[in-house]
Every structure is written in C-alpha cells, then in structure tokens.
Chain A
Amino acid sequence: MIQQSLLGIEDLEREDIERILDTAEHMVEIGRRDVKKVPTLRGRTIVNLFFESSTRTRASFEIAGKRLSADVVNFSPSGSSLKKSESILDTARTLDAMDPDVVVVRHGVAGVPKRIADVLSAPVINAGDGAHEHPTQALLDCFTVRQEKGRIDGLTVTIVGDILHSRVARSDIYAFLKLGAEVRVAAPPPMIPPCIEQLGVKAYTSLREAIDGADVVMALRIQNERLTGAFFPSVREYSATFGIDRAKLRYAKDDAIVMHPGPVNRGVELSHDLADHRPSVILDQVRNGVALRMAVLYLYAGRRPVGKRETE
C-alpha cells in the first residue's frame, strides 16, 4: 500500500510502482487536451521546497500541480535567505504551520526529505536528495521504458556514469529491479560506490561488457567541474571510454534505446548526434515527467481531506 510520503523507491512495492505508472497513463491524456487542466486538486496547496537549485524538476512539478488545479507555491530557501546554519527542521515546522497539502522537497544532502517528513503532517515527495534517491525520475524512466518496450520484465538496463554521486542511479536501480529487469552499472572505478552489488546489480568497468545485449542504456550526467581530475583524468578520456556514441551502442541490442536524466553534456556522456536523435528518448522522458508527477501528486496529495488535519 502506498505510504504517507514518497521518499524513495526503496520503500515501494512492485504494485505501488505499477499503480503510479498506470495512473500516469491517464494523466498523459490530459496533457494532450486543448485545455490541459482538471479540477482534481482544486483548493489544495502544493509547496515546492527546493533547497538546491533546479529548473527542470521544479518546472515539471509546478506544471503537474497546475494541471491538477492545485495552488503551487515555490519556496527556495537556498542562497541568501537561508544561512547554512538554519535548522532544516525549523524550516519544516514553519512550513507545517502554514498547513500545506503536499511538500515537494529537493536538497543537496541525503536524508533531508525524510527528516522533514518526520516533523511535517503533510505528505512529502522527494524531488532528489543528495546521492540518495530521486524517485519521480526513476518512475518516469520506467514509464518511458514501458511505453517504448511494452514491458520491463526481462529487460536489461545498463546505467553508465557517475553512479557514486547519483541519486538517479540508486532510484533507477531499485525501480527497474523491482519491475523485473536486470540492471548493470558501469563507470570508472572511483565512481562505483562500495558494495553497490549488494543492491542486486552487476558492476562493470568495461563499457562494452556492460552494454552487451542491453535493451536500455542510461547515461548519467558527469559534473565536469567537480569531478575532473579527482574521479577521472579528463573529459576527453571519459568520453572516449564511457561516452555513448553510435559505435559503442552497436554492442547493445539492435532496438536498444538511450536515456538520460538531463541536462546532457553534449559530447561528453552522449555524442551530439545521440543527444538529439533516436534511439535516444530524452524528450519523451521530459514529457512523461509531467504526467508521472501529476500521478504522484494525485495519489499522495489527494489523500488528505480538504480542510482537515489528519494528524491532529
């Protein structure tokens, strides 16, 4: 059964994931209408609490909320208004007093959404916390794969790149495994987290072996500035060894698709050509992201009766 908050895919059962994906199918249809709006969450307040800057994910949640007629408030305490020393729980308690119906939290440090959820009476949707989880990204990835392949069971999904610092990788690993796929990860050794195979994946340092026979190749964003020199020697060497281009993609299945959570460093983790053209489905991921987040907001925010505090 779906819990109060969506903090990570690790906590979900297969049926929960499928229910969210099925709900998103209905939401796709709303996005195709002339008037892309339904009254489902009218009178509800959604707070986007983004401690870490994000344009894409925040916009996606905002559009999703507005299509469901919710009042969406963006609250970004990052930067000058929030000194690092302000307690996140203080922020949460302040917010709780304003009685939101759902709070979408993004933070650069793992665990913050969970700790906020512990003190908040409203449900919390994790929009990405440190290198922990980014559940809605994984859900939209699964949704996109299901759309493309018709199923997830039995597929081979290879995630390539900075697994160590990636919340997308962790959420995707849990999601695809729970839905019956085989999951592989590939990266230069310093970017493979310790004990990663305990999550049920196989880790590779050879890209060729990792994508051999894969149905889905997921490239992750490399944070050039922060990682170059420390985790791999140079962008040139990274793109030569782990960057995905059409030549390397030949090792995957003929009908393999290429995914990326965005934004893409063109010519680094993906070739220019692949960033824009099939078999990459990057813009489908973005499009599906709105529908998927509508489904999540509907399933989590819609469960509290309007005007009544459940936890009092």
Chain B
Amino acid sequence: MTRILFRGGRVLDPSCERDEIIDLLVEAGRVTAVGTDLRVDDAELVDASGCWVMPGFVDLHSHLREPGQEYKEDIATGGRAAVAGGFTAVACMANTQPVNDDPATTDFIIDRARQDSPARVYPVAAATRGLEGKVMTEMAALVDAGAVAFSDDGKTIMDSGVMRHVLEYSRLVGVPVITHAEDRTLVANGVMNEGAVSTRLGLPGNPALAEDVLVARDLMLAEFTEAYLHVAHVSTRGAVELIRRARDRGVHVTAEVAPHHLTLTDEAVAGYDTHAKAAPPLRSESDREACCEGLRDGTLDAIATDHAPHAQHEKELDFSEAPPGMIGLETAAAVTLELVRAGVLTPLEWVRRLSTNPARILGRAGGGLGEGQVADVTLLDPARDWIYDPAKGQSKSRNSPWAGQRLSGRVIATFVDGYRVYDVDRGPLR
C-alpha cells in the first residue's frame, strides 16, 4: 500500500476552511489523516515545510486539441502541462477535429486520457452538432459516456431559440451548459478590445458590449428555463455586474475568469504581439479591475485557464489571421498568485477558486483534503521565483504572453490518486 506523509506544510483546504500548518497522510489514494505530528513508519515522507499543501487544482476550461490537431497539443502533453501547473484534473473543450459531439469521441478522449494523461481529463461535449449552433447533441448518451458539461466553446450559439432548448434539455442530464458569450454580429471582424488602444493601433475592435449582450441573453434564458448556466471566461465589467445581479435573484449560474483577464489589459497588444490575442480579448483596466472584484466577492466562482495551444507558424500570421488564445496550464498558479500578494484573495480563497469551486461545478471528486477524500494534492512553494520558458515546458505549444518573465510561486509536486505524477526537479512522472 502506498503511503505518503506530507510533513509540516501549510494545508489550505477550503472544503473545511482549514488553513494551518499540519501533517497530512495519504493512503491508497485517499486522505486518511490530518493532524499534528503524525507518525507512520513505512510512509514516504514529503517535507512540505514552507510549502502550501492544497487539493489539486481543477481546470474548467482547456483545449487539449486531440483528436485532430495534435501538432498543437495532445492529451498526453496537455495532461503533463496540467500536472506541471498543479492541475490534477482538466475539463477539455469540444472543438476538436472531429468535434466531440458524439459518444464515440467522448469515449476516445477518456480512453486516451486513461492511457496517456497524468491528470484526470473530463470531456466537455458540444452542445450542438458540429458546433454549428443548430441541432442539439445527444446529451443523455454523451453524459453516459462521461461528458461533464456541454459547450460550443470557441463559438457562440447565436440562435436564441436553439440556446433555449439546449438549456431546457440539459435539465434532463443535470450538468451545466457552458456559454462562450460573444455576440458575433457585434464582434464583427474585431480582433482586439474596442477602445482607445484599438483606435490607436488601427485594429478592428471587438466591443465589451458583445459579451455583455450575450451574457444578458443567456442569463435570461437560464432564468426562464431554470437550467444550470456556466459562463466561460468572463472578461467585462458589464458581464460581472449582470452575473452578480442574476445570482442575487436566484438564477442558477456560475462563472469563471481566466488568468490573462485578471492580470493583463489591451495595452499588451500594443506591439501587435499575437500572443496577446485572445477570445474574448484582453480588455481595459476597468474591466480587469471588475473581474478581480468579481473573483474576490464570489460572483466569479473559478479561475479557469482557457489553455489554448497554437503552433508558432500560426501565431506568426498577421494579427487578424492569427488564431486567438494562449497556453496557461503551467503559468496559471504563479500568474494568479499576484492577486494573493495584492490582497485581492486570501490564500484559502485562491485555492477555493482553483480547486474546490471548479470541482463542485463539475460534480467531480476533489477540491478538498478531508479524511476520506481523494488524494489529489498540489504542493506549491509560494516564494519560489522562476523564469518561465515555454520551450522547457510540458505543452507542445509555446504561445504565452508570459514567456521569458520572472514569475513568483512554483508548483513543487503534484499527486493524483495518491501517486506522485509531477516533481519540479524530475518533471512529469508519467
């Protein structure tokens, strides 16, 4: 039997509001004891002093690109990038080739993850066939196959009638419908946030209004249908406010925000760096502040990476043609620790948004380190500085706006099911 004793770490467990220096014992894939001065003879000892011991992070939003675009990423490399970033589970979006809109593709992803990925992989299935926004997918069969949620992420279901029925039908299976909320007619040919910077750069603008309008619509539809709506990558002040008000009146809605929308603004586009191109785009400072405030007050439940790998030759296209998105699994923790240092979140609230809340949203194990809970554990040294070099990272792609930057806070080791799957010195162990 594998036994691991985490000794002397600061255990941060939002599921039971624990924040104290204490030992943690893991046996056979479960947490079996939390206490001071635990003594176990034959356990592997992990010296966690100076480190944070946390339930493994759960990413609600990543693009693992398999099947179909393995030159960008695959389930194995995406899974390794996940554990290197402290994520023990990742939900992967359906915009693969073929689209994950039938149980066979969902099966394939789960099967491949079981063989190749050190992290748990939860497939998000398409809400409509081919992500075309017209015909809904076989949700019951997809959930049976293992789909955890439905989303046409990358695209928006523009037809309000279709979205209404998708939400209504999702009540049959009881999983969230994740909306990528951008009104395509308002986005038009926009490639960056519309505002003073887009005017100066001469790039077509994508207004915050495009997100606000669609979030407002989807909240109204969720309220009307009494379905469970999850809003992906919130990026605007307006959307945060709309979600806050909907939550107040009892709409069943949760929401996530990406590290880049919490820490960067459209000023990052100033040199026409396509690594700063994302969908939704990097917004204004006022939007960024509103996202931080929404995360602080709980309007935004989770930090989700929107890990979106793209090959170098794709990011070398002109700014309009280059695909949007950036990789984020390996940097999310360090980048968002800025919010802890800035006093926006306590360490415990930070862990809640990276682990406990996303696990709850997906209805999956994890998110806590109480006795009997699954032993998905992330060990992080909050004071350790490192320089992020995507070429030395685990992802196949290198499209990161943080390349070459000094980051503070590093994942030291990651454990899934009580097994060490990542070690900062040795890399991924699977």
Contact = CB atoms under 8 A, between A and B. Distances in A.
A237 B329 CA distance: 53
A111 B196 contact: no
B317 interface: yes
Nearest to B321: A84
Nearest to A129: B202
B120 to A, nearest CB: 35
A198 B316 contact: no
A112 B318 CA distance: 6
B202 A170 contact: yes
Nearest to A119: B316
A87 interface: yes
19 contacts: A85-B321, A87-B316, A90-B313, A90-B316, A109-B203, A110-B201, A111-B203, A111-B272, A114-B272, A131-B202, A167-B202, A193-B205, A194-B195, A194-B196, A194-B198, A194-B207, A195-B196, A198-B200, A199-B199
Contacts, number: 71
Interface in A107-129: 107, 109-112, 114-115, 129
B388 interface: no
A112 B272 CA distance: 8
A110 B270 CA distance: 11
B320 interface: yes
B169 interface: no
Q: What is the interface of chain B mostly: helix, strand, loop, or mixed?
A: loop
A227 interface: no
A198 B203 CA distance: 16
Given A87-B313, A194-B194, A10 B318 contact: no
A115 B196 CA distance: 21
B248 to A, nearest CB: 31
A198 B196 CA distance: 7
Interface of B: 194-196, 198-205, 207, 271-272, 313, 316-321
Interface of A: 10, 84-85, 87-90, 107, 109-112, 114-115, 129-133, 167, 170, 193-196, 198-199
Contacts of A199: 199-200
A167 B316 CA distance: 23
B199 A132 contact: no
Contacts of A87: 313, 316-317
A90 B316 CA distance: 8
Contact of A194 (B199, B201, B317, B321): B199
A171 to B, nearest CB: 10
Given A115-B272, A194-B194, A198-B196, A85 B202 contact: no
Given A107-B318, A109-B321, A195-B196, A114 B271 contact: yes
Given A89-B316, A107-B318, A198 B199 contact: yes
Contacts of B272: 110-112, 114-115
The interface centre, meaning the residue of B198, B202, B313, B321 with most chain A CB atoms within 10 A of its CB, is B202
Q: What is the interface of chain A mostly: helix, strand, loop, or mixed?
A: mixed
Contacts of B199: 193-196, 198-199
B318 A111 contact: yes
A199 B272 CA distance: 19
Contacts of A107: 318
A87 to B, nearest CB: 4
A114 B196 CA distance: 19
A133 B272 CA distance: 13
Given A195-B195, A198-B196, A111 B201 contact: yes
Contacts of A194: 194-196, 198-199, 205, 207
B83 to A, nearest CB: 32
Nearest to B319: A111
A130 B196 contact: no
A85 B316 CA distance: 9
Nearest to A193: B199
Contacts of A85: 317, 321
A114 B271 CA distance: 8
Given A109-B203, A195-B196, 13 more contacts: A85-B321, A88-B316, A109-B319, A109-B321, A110-B203, A131-B202, A132-B201, A193-B198, A193-B199, A194-B205, A195-B195, A195-B199, A198-B199
A87 B321 CA distance: 10
Nearest to A92: B316
A107 B203 CA distance: 12
Contacts of B205: 193-194
Contacts of B198: 193-194
Nearest to B199: A193
B196 to A, nearest CB: 4
